[in-house]
Amino acid sequence: MTNTPEPGSFTPAAAVVPWWWQQLDSDGKVVTPADGRQEFPTRSDAESWVGEFYPDLVDEGVASVTLFEGDREVYGPMSLGT
């Protein structure tokens, strides 16, 4: 006897919800990156990325960012000003 699951009884693992940054200019308008939205598997990855690349974002006209988990706003807008 085996423990083979019944057909149709397989439940896939929950989908991973991406973390991402909404980028805003100094007027609060959304800035869409030329290469599309950068997504991250974890909050830590997203926060590390913005910490590393915020000077580049500022050079591209981004004044603040808001962190999202999927469609849920987590925090922000957070100023990138120094």
Range of the domain at 48: 19-79
Identify whether 9 is part of a domain.
no
Identify whether 11 is part of a domain.
no
- Residues near 51 by Cβ (< 8 Å), separated by ≥ 6? none
pLDDT recorded at residue 6: 59
Q: 22 and 65 in contact (C-beta within 8 Å)?
A: yes
Residue-by-residue DSSP string for 20-81: EEEEE-TTSPEEPPTT---EESSHHHHHHHHHHHHHHHHHTT--EEEEEETTEEEEEEEE--
Instruction: Please tell me the total count of domains within the chain.
Output: 1
Q: What is the mean pLDDT of residues 20-36?
A: 93
Q: What is the mean pLDDT of residues 48-63?
A: 94
Mean of pLDDT over the chain: 87
Angle made by CA atoms 71, 24, 68, in degrees to the nearest 5: 20
The pTM of this model reads: 0.78
Identify whether 39 is part of a domain.
yes
Q: What is the mean pLDDT of residues 50-66?
A: 95
